[in-house]
Amino acid sequence: MTASDKRFLISAPGKVILFGEHAVVHKKLAVAASLGLRTYLDVAENTSGQCHLKLPDVQVDTTWSLSELDIAVERELLEQQHPSDMPDKLKQQLETLMGETTSVAQKQAVMAFLYLFILLKNNNKGDNFGLTIRARSTLPVGAGLGSSASFSTALATALLMVFGHLPESFATSEEKDNAWLEIINRYAFKAEQVIHGNPSGVDNAVATFGGALSFRRGEGFSQLEGCQSLRLLLTNTKVPRSTSALVAGVGAKKTKYPAVVDPMLDAIDGISLQCVQVFKQLQAGEMDTHQVTSELEELVDMNHCLLHGLGVSHPSLETVRSVTEAHGVKTKLTGAGGGGCAVSIIRDDISEETLDAVTKELQSHGYDCYQTSLGGVGASASILSNVQDEAWIESADRHTLEKLIAHP
C-alpha cells in the first residue's frame, strides 16, 4: 500500500456516567462506560504536500502546507509540560496557524489538532507527504457524553499511526495491545488538556480503553472486569443546564443538611460498588446476563431517586422516566442532570415494537433518542478499501460504520 492510497477509519466512543454522578465530587465511587455512539476520522495519506482538516460539527475546513507545520519544538519539554505552559513563541505560532475562529469549540478543536501534530510529527514522511483528516460523529456535541474526549482520542490515534508511533497492525488486530492503548490515552489526555484545561482524564480513558471504568476522586480509575455490551436507550432532552450550578447546589445541601445528605451520597457510593460487584460475578459465572440486567435496573432506579432527592433532576428528565416506566423500562439521569441526557437499560425481552413506541413518544416531546450500546470497544482503526471513499463515509449509516469497527 503506497502513501497515495493509504486510508484508515479511526474511531473512539463517547461515554456515559452509569452510576455516581455528583457523589463523585465528594470522593464517592462512580462508574462510566463507553457508548456505541462514536467519533470517526477518515484519515488519508497522499502526496499533496498539504494538510487538510475538515470538522463539520464545528464548521472547520482548513488547509495548511506541510512546510507551515514544520515547527521545531523541544518534544521532551512538551511531553512533561501542561499544554498551557508551552513557550510563548510556540503558542503564538500555533495561534497564527489557527487563524480566525468563530467559536470556542472551533478554537479548541483546531488548537488540539495543531498541538498534537507538532508534538508527534517526524521527518520520515518525505517532502511530498500530504494528509487529509475528515471527521464524522454520531455523538451529540455538548450533551455531556464525552464528545471532546472521543474526538481527542480518535485524533491521537490517527496522528500516532500516521507518524509511525503505532504500528499499522493496530488497524488489523482484533485484540489491541494494552501498551498501544496506554500511548493513545497519554496523547488523548494532552488534547483534552488543550480543550478543557484540567480534565479528570476519565472521559479519554473510557474513549481509549472502552468497556467500563470505576473511579474515585484522587485515586485514579480501574477497568471493570466482566463488563459486557448491553443495549441502551439514550435520550437527550436538549434542556441546557449549568454543571457548576448543579454541583454547587448539592454542596450547599450537604453543608445545610449533613445528617441527611451524607447518607444519600454514601448510598450512591454503595450503588457504584454494587455495580462493580455485579460485573465481577458475571465474569465468574455466578450471574447470567439476564440477572445482571435485572440488578442494574434496580440500581438505576435507586440512583435516580437519590439524585432527584439531591435536587439535580428536572421535569424533562421526569417525563422521560414516566414514559419509559409505562413500558417497563428503567431510566436515570446521566451526568450533571438539570436537563441534559437520560439513560435507559433495555432488557433482552423488550421488543423492537416497544422500543419504537417509547422512542416515538419521547420524540413527540421534542427529545432526541439514540438506540445504542453500553460498554463496547474503545479506540479502533480499520483499513479502508478503494470503494470506501469520502462519499461512502459521509453516506454510510451508523450501523454500517459500527460493523466496520467491530470487524476490522
pLDDT, one tens digit per residue, over 394-408 is 778 777 787 777 554
pLDDT, residue 5, reads 61
CA-to-CA distance for 20 and 31, rounded, in angstroms?
6
User: Which grid cell is 250?
Assistant: 448539592
Instruction: Identify the CATH assignment for 7-224+378-406 out of 3.10.20.90, 3.30.230.10, 3.30.420.40, 3.30.830.10.
Output: 3.30.230.10
Beta bridge partners of 184: none
Residues of the chain with pLDDT below 50 are 1-4, 408
CA-to-CA distance for 221 and 32, rounded, in angstroms?
10
CA-to-CA distance for 156 and 181, rounded, in angstroms?
11
Dihedral sign for Cα atoms in the order 278, 375, 358, 320? positive
CA-to-CA distance for 199 and 192, rounded, in angstroms?
7
Q: Distance of CA 199 to CAs 148, 202, 203, 245, 247, Å? A: 11, 8, 8, 18, 16
pLDDT, residue 2, reads 44
CA-to-CA distance for 138 and 177, rounded, in angstroms?
26
Q: Residue 15: enclosing H or E segment and its boundaries?
A: strand 7-19
Catalytic site includes residue 148: yes
pLDDT, residue 198, reads 81
Catalytic site includes residue 395: no
pLDDT, residue 406, reads 56
Q: Are 34 and 376 in contact (CB under 8 A)?
A: yes
Q: Which residues have C-beta within 8 Å of that of residue 214, sequence separation ≥ 6? A: 29, 30, 31, 221, 222, 224, 272, 275, 276
pLDDT, residue 193, reads 93
Domain ranges of the chain: 7-224+378-406, 230-374
Q: Single out the catalytic residue among 203, 269, 272, 313.
A: 203
Q: Residue 274: enclosing H or E segment and its boundaries?
A: helix 258-283
For the whole model, what pTM was predicted?
Answer: 0.89
Q: Single out the catalytic residue among 34, 137, 147, 148.
A: 148
pLDDT, residue 143, reads 81
pLDDT, residue 39, reads 95
pLDDT, residue 268, reads 97
Q: Are 202 and 178 in contact (CB under 8 A)?
A: no
CATH code of 230-374, in short, is 3.30.70.890
pLDDT 10s digits, 235-260:
999 998 888 899 999 999 999 999 99
First to last CA, the chain: 17
